[in-house]
Chains A and B, each alone.
Chain A
Amino acid sequence: MIAKRLQIKNVSVKFGGLSALEDVSFEVDDNQLIGFIGPNGAGKTTLMRVIMGMVNPLSGSVLLNGRNITNLTSVQRIHAGVALGQQIVKPLRQMSLLDNVALASGGKKLLSPMRALLVQKRHKERELARELLIQVGLGDHSEKLPSELPLGYLKRLEVARALALRPSLLLLDEPLAGLSKPEAEQMADLIYNLPRVGLSVILIEHNLPQVQRICPILYVQSNGRQLAFGLTKDVMADPAVRQAYLGVGA
C-alpha cells in the first residue's frame, strides 16, 4: 500500500474545558492542493498547529508519508518534511531577503551547532534562495531588508522561506490575508503551481473566491469538527456548508 502524504487520524484537542478539535480525520495525497475553510474559531489554525507539533493532541495521530510523527518536536517534523507559512509574517528583520531564505535552506546543519560550526560557505544555499525568490517574484529585491518592503512582498517571502525547507507538505495559514485584490490573485497563482513541483499544500484561507478558483478539493471545519470534505464544487453545494460557513439557506 502506498502511504499518503499526510494522514490525520481521530485527532482531538481540548483547551481547558473547550473542545477545539473533535475526532478529526482526513488525508492528503501527493501533489494535492487542499483548501481548508471554516468560520472563525472552527479550529483550523489549531489543526495546523497539531500537524506542526506546536499543539499536542489529546488523542489521535499524525502520519507523514506513512511515518508516525505524533511524538516528534516541531523542528524534527520540519526536517521530516513539513513546513509552515504563518498568517502573521515574521521575517528576520536584520537579514536581507536572500539570507532569510538561505538560512532556511541550511538543512541538517541547523540541527547541531557543532556541525554548523564546521561550515562557513553559504554559496549553495544562497543560489537556491535566489532561485526561490525569483520563483515567488522577489528576484529584484533579494538584497533588501524586510523593513524596506510592503506586506504583500513579505507574504511571498514567507512562502519562499517555507519552500527553502524543501518540504513534502506545505501548510499555509491565510497567505492572502491583508493583500490587495491583484496581490491576492498573484499569490493564489503562485500557490496553485506548487503541487506541480511535487508538493502537497494545505491552504487555510478566508478569501473564498480565490480558494474556489485554485483548490480542487475543500475541507470544511466547524466547531472543531469536520463538516465536509471533497471536490470543491460538491462541497460548496452542500447545504450544511452554506449554512455554517456562508450563513445562507440550507
Chain B
Amino acid sequence: MAYEIVVLTNMAIAVLFALSLNVITGFCGQVSLGHAAFLGIGAYTSAMLSKEGVPLIITFIPAMGMAALIGLIVGVASLRVRHDFLAITTMGVVFLFTGIVRKQEILGGEIGIAGIPAPDFGRVGLFATSLLCVLAYLLLTIWIRRSWTGFAFDSIAEDEDTARLLGINVPKFKLFAFVVGTAGAGLAGALYAHQVRFIGPDSFGFVESISVLAMVIVGGIGSIWGVILAAAFLSALPQFFQVIDDYKLLVYGLLLFGAMRFAPEGIDGLLKKIVRRRAVK
C-alpha cells in the first residue's frame, strides 16, 4: 500500500506541475522550456524553511511567492520576445537556475539538500495534501478558463497583435499567466521536496522541463482534462515499468514527436474527434 501511495503522490505532483505549465503555454500560448526551474525554486524554498522547523503547509506560501516573483521577473524580461525566441529565453532560465544552485553552498551546491523532514501527517497525509493542492489549482484554472481572463488568453495565444487591437492589455495578461503558472510550479516543488526528501540541481534541469512540456502537448495544449490525463499517465508509467524509466527520455521524445506529427491537439483532440465521428454515424 505504501508504494501505491508514493506513486499516487508523484502523480498528483506531476498533474499540478503540468497544470501550472498549461496556464502559461496552453492558455496564454507562451512556450516555456524552463518550467522546471520554478519547480526547483519552490522545492528549495520549502525544503530550507522546513529544515528550520517551519511546518510544510506554511512553507507553501513562500515557495509559491518566491517562484511567482522570479516568474514575474522572467515574464517582464520575456515580454518583448515571442515564439522561438521566447522558448530560448525560458530555456536559459533553467540553465541559469541549475548553474546558480550548483555554486551556492547555502543551497547545498552539487550535493543538494538532504534530510528534508518528513511531514508530520505522514505519507497518506502528504498524498491527501497533494490531492487538495491539485484540486484547488484545478478549480483556479477552470475558473480562469471560463472567465474573461481565459477569453483574453485565447486571443493572445492565437495572435498577440490582433489581441492588442481589440483593446487587450497583452503584457499584463502575459505576466498574469507567468505569475499564476510559476506559483503553481512552486507549490508542486514544495510537495516534491517533501515527497522525495532529497533535492539536488539535477532534479530541476532541462530534461524535467521537456518532460512536463511533453505532458502538456500529449494531453492537448490548453486542455485541462487532457493535461491531467497525460500527466497522470506519463508520471505513473516509469514507476510501473522499469524499462520505461530506463528509457524515459526516449519514450518522452517519441511521444512528443508523435503528438506533434500525428495528433497536434493531443489526447483532448483525439477524444473530441472520436466523439464527433460517433455523433455523425
Q: Are A117 and B165 in contact (CB under 8 A)?
A: no
A14 within 8 A of B: no
B207 within 8 A of A: no
Closest B residue to A161 by beta carbon equals: B166
Give the residues in chain B near A84, CB-CB below 8 Å: 165
Contact with A along B146-182 (1 / 0, CB 8 A): 1111011011001101101111111011001000000
Task: Please report which residues of chain A, range 108-137, place their CB below 8 angstroms from some CB of chain B when the two chains form the complex.
Answer: 109-114, 116-120, 122
Which of A79, A86, A93, A118 contacts B165, CB < 8 Å?
A86
Query: Number of A-B pairs whose CB atoms are under 8 Å?
Result: 82
Q: Are A113 and B154 in contact (CB under 8 A)?
A: no
Q: Are B154 and A109 in contact (CB under 8 A)?
A: no
Minimum CB–CB distance for B182 against chain A, Å:
15
Closest B residue to A107 by beta carbon equals: B167
Q: Are B148 and A119 in contact (CB under 8 A)?
A: yes
Q: Are A116 and B165 in contact (CB under 8 A)?
A: no
User: In the bound complex, how far is the Cα of B165 from the Cα of A173, in angstroms?
Assistant: 14
User: In the bound complex, how far is the Cα of B169 from the Cα of A241, in angstroms?
Assistant: 41
User: In the bound complex, how far is the Cα of B168 from the Cα of A84, in angstroms?
Assistant: 14
B88 within 8 A of A: no
Closest A residue to B175 by beta carbon equals: A113
User: In the bound complex, how far is the Cα of B155 from the Cα of A90, in angstroms?
Assistant: 11
Is chain B's binding surface mostly helix, strand, loop or mixed? helix
Which of B144, B155, B170 contacts A117, CB < 8 Å?
B144
B143 within 8 A of A: yes
A195 within 8 A of B: no
Closest B residue to A108 by beta carbon equals: B167
Q: What's the interface size class on A, roughly?
A: 20 to 34
Q: Are A116 and B147 in contact (CB under 8 A)?
A: yes
Closest A residue to B140 by beta carbon equals: A117
Minimum CB–CB distance for A164 against chain B, Å:
8
Q: Are A79 and B167 in contact (CB under 8 A)?
A: yes
Give the residues in chain A near B146, CB-CB below 8 Å: 120
A184 within 8 A of B: no
Closest A residue to B179 by beta carbon equals: A113
Give the residues in chain B near A63, CB-CB below 8 Å: none
Minimum CB–CB distance for B227 against chain A, Å:
18
Q: Are B159 and A116 in contact (CB under 8 A)?
A: no
User: In the bound complex, how far is the Cα of B162 from the Cα of A84, in angstroms?
Assistant: 11
User: In the bound complex, how far is the Cα of B169 from the Cα of A64, in angstroms?
Assistant: 20
Task: Please report which residues of chain B, range 98-126, place their CB below 8 angstroms from some CB of chain A when the two chains form the complex.
Answer: none
A92 within 8 A of B: yes
Q: Are A106 and B152 in contact (CB under 8 A)?
A: yes
Minimum CB–CB distance for A231 against chain B, Å:
32
Closest B residue to A114 by beta carbon equals: B176
Minimum CB–CB distance for A60 against chain B, Å:
23
Which of B144, B155, B161, B170 contacts A103, CB < 8 Å?
B155
Give the residues in chain B near A104, CB-CB below 8 Å: 166-167
Q: Are B154 and A110 in contact (CB under 8 A)?
A: no
Task: Please report which residues of chain A, range 60-113, place their CB below 8 angstroms from some CB of chain B when the two chains form the complex.
Answer: 74-75, 78-79, 84, 86, 90-95, 99, 103-104, 106-107, 109-113
User: In the bound complex, how far is the Cα of B159 from the Cα of A104, in angstroms?
Assistant: 14
Minimum CB–CB distance for B233 against chain A, Å:
26
Q: Are B165 and A110 in contact (CB under 8 A)?
A: no
Q: Are A113 and B159 in contact (CB under 8 A)?
A: no
User: In the bound complex, how far is the Cα of B158 from the Cα of A119, in angstroms?
Assistant: 22
Minimum CB–CB distance for B226 against chain A, Å:
16
User: In the bound complex, how far is the Cα of B168 from the Cα of A109, in angstroms?
Assistant: 8
User: In the bound complex, how far is the Cα of B161 from the Cα of A189, in angstroms?
Assistant: 29
List 17 additional A-B contacts (Cβ < 8 Å) besides A75-B170, A78-B167, A110-B167. A74-B164, A92-B155, A92-B162, A103-B152, A106-B151, A110-B168, A110-B169, A111-B167, A111-B169, A111-B172, A113-B172, A113-B176, A117-B143, A119-B147, A120-B148, A122-B151, A165-B166
Interface residues of B (CB under 8 A from A): 143-144, 146-149, 151-152, 154-155, 158-159, 161-162, 164-170, 172-173, 176
Interface residues of A (CB under 8 A from B): 74-75, 78-79, 84, 86, 90-95, 99, 103-104, 106-107, 109-114, 116-120, 122, 161, 165
